[in-house]
Structure 1
Amino acid sequence: MTESTVPRRRLRSAAAGLSAASALAMLSACDPQPSDEQVSRERYGAPTEVAAFNNVDECKASGAFAQVTCEEAARNAAAEDSKTAPRFADRDVCEDQFGAGKCLVRNEGGQSFFVPLLTGFMIGRLLNGPGYRYSGLYRSGRDDRYYTPGGAWLYGGGYGGRGYSYQVGSRAVTAPVTTQRIQTRSSVVSRGGFGGRVSARSSGGWGGGRSFGG
């Protein structure tokens, strides 16, 4: 069949479809996805500088903190882990976020759930007073980033020329972290993975865990 024999209605429909596809492509190009920092700012507040370490020896070797501070931070992270570690209903959902063999089962109040292994600790300075705020850290098997118990991710590694220095949303430092809810596959998928690495405007915010006092 030649073009001259194709019904005009079909030609018009095809042209309209191409025009719509072209317009959609142009809109997508003009409206890029928000950056990692933008999403973090929307969800967890303005960025603030924090230090992250895998262990006490790393912390002491940095020369940034006294030995007693490093030890206190590690001790606090370990003590709080039983309450603040992210909780998942199924092992495979936990391991999908944090890596195979990186999750363990826990029991509390007659419920069983899975949590990722504690892989480090964070030291942040309180904004409204002296002293530090400590938190455990959990390393993602997806992007190899540190995450706080409430799902905030550390970014900008090496900030200010210091290998241990990162940025994170300020609420990860200033707001209290409460006992986590048990997350299901649907709650994790709905926000684009642990921590909600999609825009708060499109996802509706943090959904699975009760964190930062929320």
Structure 2
Amino acid sequence: MMKIKIFATLSLIISGFSPFCAQKLNFKDQNFEKAVLENFDLDKNGSLEQMEADAVTNLFLVQKGIKSADDVSLFKNAKMIVLDDNTISSISISGLSHLNLFSCTGCGMSSFKAEGLNTLGSLYLDNNLLENFLLKETPQINQLTLSLNQLKTINITPLKNLRKLNIEHNKIQKLDISGNPVLQTLNVAGNKLKETDIKKGVKSDVTIFGTEP
């Protein structure tokens, strides 16, 4: 009986129906799935397996008709994700321990949250409709672009490595950069901010652009 079972299992493997075959990933957004299949379906079987997703380090999904960014969580080894010019109303990302750059510009997004992205260095969210913006445990961010949004307040104190900050054309009236010791350039044009509305650190050496007289 044991020989029969072993023979049956071997037959399944040889014929391509291994009981241990790779599991198909389930996507929430069909356009997201379609876009990644075009580039990363290595065995051309019409579906993406975890092994294929794990091999992806760069995701460039610009103008793909994507409406949800939830599927980025399937790509655990992604270092760069670009979702520009899609239609995504809100984004919440976490658990991508290798991510270095994330961009979602021109997506009509009103809410963004990122948590536990310990290697994220560059974040680009300009030209959206952002009203809510929250970062937790993102200590390595050095470049942050939030221009052309609807933000009224922003807390950047936890971003100790921040060097470049662009927040042009929002609705910000007060800004505290006293907790950002290595900040080099700050662009606040279009916010009706005077330099006296910006709280600086004692040893601040930042160049500020766009303040009002």
In which range does the TM-score fall when normalised by the shorter chain? under 0.3
Of structures 1 and 2, the one with the larger relative CO (CA 8 A, separation 6+) is 1
Q: How high is the TM-score relative to the length of structure 2? A: 0.19
Which structure shows the higher helix fraction? Answer: 1
